[in-house]
Structure formats: structure tokens, C-alpha cells
Structure 1
């Protein structure tokens, strides 16, 4: 006998999300709960985003990009949502209902949220219905993001964390004193992420970012994929508070710069910064040409993480040149030079 309705409470792991999709695809009515705070928060959660269709980077043709008025790489919904309807439980007597999850996600990815329905109980115990536009604290504007398959597709692209007068972030009020040296900065808690590299990346991009020691007072938490999958208490508590969580694939400066560029809405194309990986490859190619052309005996490249340095060494070997790494992390760099003799 097949059940007509299945209820899953507190979906929080990848296997549970996959099981929910399988159940829904078999035509069984499915009801589930998950700690997501709001629809946009679910989109940023790499484990739970599949419940509402997931997101993926798509490269548009030049004509389509011009028609949409976006850059060529945008984010789109990956698949049909597991659930057709989503209800945000704000308080015991206050709900927001998204009656068409697919349409709501598509609109959110375009940065134009659909109108939802607010339902609440008034002082007389009556149920009231009002139209409302979702509060886009974590507004995803990934159209034109530098995702490109090399970076974390779960991070909040196009998100600008503005310093509102009362510093409200995710429903939390954060008090700051005039003497606070981090005033006006976005406070980031690095969980499993190298703090020195994060600070180096923020200095390199000239952004007001402060790496804090207090996860409870952080505006944003950044962690690695393997840490996030373990669902530690710090991550679970942050999700319940509604604190944005960014997930990096690797503990590298290039990943951190990508995260910072998304968080501060820095343009990637022809503006202040390009893709850090491509910049490093371009610099290595230029150095090889200079050494081969006899213009110089050696060229010192800018500091990079170990993965990029390894690729730069490979490029030098293929060009029949010498290369060595020197310096201390995070300032360690590659020197490309002519072979002796």
C-alpha cells in the first residue's frame, strides 16, 4: 500500500533533500519543513537549494544577453522545485505564502521578486490576508556573476551588504559604538577558512571587510564545502538566525576574492578586477615571453596560492625555463628565470 501523504520534518542534509525529490517525483503528496528562514536564504544553501529547484550558471549568447540587459553569465533555476508551494513561518501568527515556487525563484534570480501573500492573525483573532513583496535581504543578482563553473555556485552573487542605520542584518540588531574600529565594515566570521588569506584578499580588493572572532556578531559567515556538509552547531545556529553563509570550494585566495567580489557587488568584466585565476595565468605567460625574449634574466610573479603556483611552475617547464617558489605564505610567489648554461 502506497501512502497518499508523506511528512518530512526538518530536512537538513543532502540525502534527505534527494529523498524528498524522489518522493515528489513519484506523485506522493509531500509536506516538509526545513530551516531556511526565507526563500532567498534557501537559494543560498547548497544543501537545501535543490528543494526549490537549485541554481546553475548559464552562459547566454551575445544577442540574448543584450536582450535581457545582463552580462553573458547568469544564474537560472536548474530543475523543477520539489515543492510547489512554500510557506515562510515568520512568527507563530505570521506567515508568508509563495503559491508558485518555480515562478518565485525565477523572479528572484532576476532580481525582481514576485508578490507573495502575507497571512497573520490580528488582535481580534481574525486571519488577515495582504499582498507583500519579499524582503530581499539576500537578494540574488547573479546575472553577470563570475561563476563560470570555477567558483561556488551557492554564494550570494550581486549581494550588497549595506550599512543600514540600525545595522539590521537578517532580523538581528547589531549595536556599534562610535569608537568601534570596524564601524562601516562588513564583519565576516571565517569558519575553517584561513583568516590571513581572507584579510589579504580584502586588502587587495580595497573593501571594508573585518574578520571577526565572534560568530554571533558576524554579518556573514564564510566556510568551506567539507565543513558545511558536516552541519556543525555553529552553522546550524547561523542558519536559524538568518545569517548569510557563503561556501567556498577551496581555501585559496582566488576563491576568497570571488566571494568578496560577489558580496560587495564588484563588477568582474572590464572594471577594477578580473578573474584572479585568469589574471595569474596571463601574468605567467607574459613573464615567460619576457624571459624568452631576452628582456630580463628573471621575473617575479605576484603572490598566489599553492594551486596556482603549481600551474605556473608547469607553464615554465613547458617553456623550458627555470622556476622556483620563495617567500612565506601568504606572500609566497614564483620566480621564472632562464636555465643556467
Structure 2
């Protein structure tokens, strides 16, 4: 695993602050892990760090001191953001109802070289990748490094769509952190989708890097770009794929959704209502990464399959990648990789440090009980039980009284395979819980045979 290297140009950000605050932040201890400096009119200035904050002065910030910082920063754009030329720092303004600036958030921007190693095999696959995660987890930092690796180390034609100059920094000359990748700035954030299409039509990129896809127009532009054979690497609002399913503006990224009416037999087989949601087409991004932390990422190798499973309330298993303190990558739940995707560099995939335990869950086929109801109970009670959709995959059948008479195929299959059928009178939570606990006792007491 390659060693990570961090650069931050912190002196240039501190230089715009009042001199008294520069002195407060001069020590190496106070500069370490600094996230941002908050300057609000009439309040003491404060520095923010991961999990804590520090008041830099007892006296409240004066109008004169605030105006001095604004003068050194320069003009704010339509998104109330400004920057420092050829740095990654971001200064955001708070305004009153009259439009006057009454507060500033001075966020430290850092270029971290080496972060892409955890998903380098995905980047080299030439397939489009969607990155999700909570704000502040490091999505933009990863995009920046991916752009550099693609342009410098893989010699690809890369164009970065930089809406707020967060990826390549402020000014007309991009920050060295994106390497030889080209950068297109967006004059108005509302027109980001236009710049995305312009990049494809005018500059012949092989890869487009885009941060914060957040509107229906931008999702449409991303699909248009992908259909032209251009690799996309982007981030979207939301921290996991399930969020995109619930977001009408971004559903096109995962293939779009449509309402489908099922026949009686199919609805009974699925254990669902007759009207369900299904995917309209292939996802814009075949690969997806959920950043659960800076050193813990969940990889979805087949977004279409994952979305289909989520829509049908089926369990979803992602590949978990973690970096330990030595920078060694460990992979949990290894899955078959799509063509063209190699093994992650420096990983312990052959002998995972976090091996997936043998699946000892009790597999239940429900009849007359909705899978959604069972899954909710299993989650609430933390039971080692999995709901399956076919009898041949089950260890036991859990049925309401007389329910199997409406599903004779399932009853014949269970008898033919020797799978026991457990009958309950009603589907109230207490009775379901007792039935599952009883089946679990028999399942484990008889060596995984109910």
C-alpha cells in the first residue's frame, strides 16, 4: 500500500485572518487537524477540529476585523463562496437580509495523495463510479486524487467539472493536486448540467469528474455522458444507494423507477403488493462506493443487482474495504469482479484480515407472512435469520394456518426436499418472534438441521 501524503498550504489561509488569530493558530498543535475557522460578527472567533471546537479569543469579532478578512479574500460568487488562488481552501459567507456579510466559514482544503489506492482497481476498470458518503467524510478529496491518477498515471484525457472550485482550487490555474487533468469552471451552479454536456461536445474527454450531482438535470446530463461512452467519476447527495431510491431527482443515476402491476401468482410468490416499483433501465453508474469513514469503504460491484434487491426488500451484501494503521488494505466479503477489474493493490484479498464468517443464519421461506414484516422483526430482535424467496434455499417454511393451501407448489417442494413446515395461527409480532426463536433452537441444536 502506498503511503499517503498530505499538503494543505495552511499559511496562505491563515494569512487572510486578523493578526491576533494568526498568532493563536501559530503552534503546530493548533494547526494539526484544523478543519475550519468560524468568524461570526459579535461572537468570539472559534477553530473547529474533529469532535471539538476551540475559542480563539474572548472578545467578540468586530465589524472592522470581519471587513478586513473580506477585503483580503476577494469577491464572493453566486453560491456565497470565495477562495484563495491556487489553493484548495474555501471561504463561505453568511449574509443578513440586506445582503451584508455577517459571518465567514474558512474551511481548510487539503490535497491527500495516495487515497485512491483503496479503489484503484475500480478506477482502472474504465467503468463509471459513483461515490457517496456523509458531508466531510472526504469525497471531494478522493475525486481530486482520482482525477490526478487517471490523467498522470493512466494517461487519460480527464476534464473536471468544478462547480465551486472545490476540486481544483480557486483562480484560473488549477491546483497541482489534479495533475494534468483539465478543469472547467461553472459560472452559475444552476447551469452545471450545461457545462457537463459542453465538456463532452467540445473537449473530447475520456473521463469526466463531477462533484455533488444534486438535481434532475444533472442526473440527466450524467446519463447522456455515460451513453456516449465517457467514463464518469462523481459524487451524489446521499450516503448510500438506498437514499437515491428515495430521491426522485437522482433516481436516474440508478436506472430510474417505474410502477409495475404484478399478476396474482407473481405477487404471491414475491410476498408483495400487486403494484411495486422496478428499475426502468441500466444504471448510469455500474459501480458504487459508500464511504462510511475515511478508512472504511463499501463497494457495490453491480449497482443494478443491488437496486433490484433493495426494491424487493432483499438483503444486500457489499464488499467492505478497510485500511489498517499500517496502511494495509483488508477486504471483507470478496465478490466476483466484473471483467477488466483487477485485484486491489496491496490488499490481503487472498487471506482477508477481516474474513467473512460462515453464514450460519436460519433461512426462512414465508407463506402468508410478508417478507417486509419478517425483516423488520429480524432487525429489531437481531435474530440470525434470513428471509429467502424460494423454498429450495430455505431451512424451514414458516406459514400461517391454511396459507399453503393457496401455494400448493411451495408445499410440494418443501415435502419433496424434506424441509419442515412450521405453522402459526396469526402473524402478530409476538407469535412470529416465538416461532423464529423456536426454529432457531432446533436449527442449532441439530447441527443446522431443523
TM range (shorter): 0.3 to 0.5
TM-score (norm 2): 0.29
TM-score (norm 1): 0.38
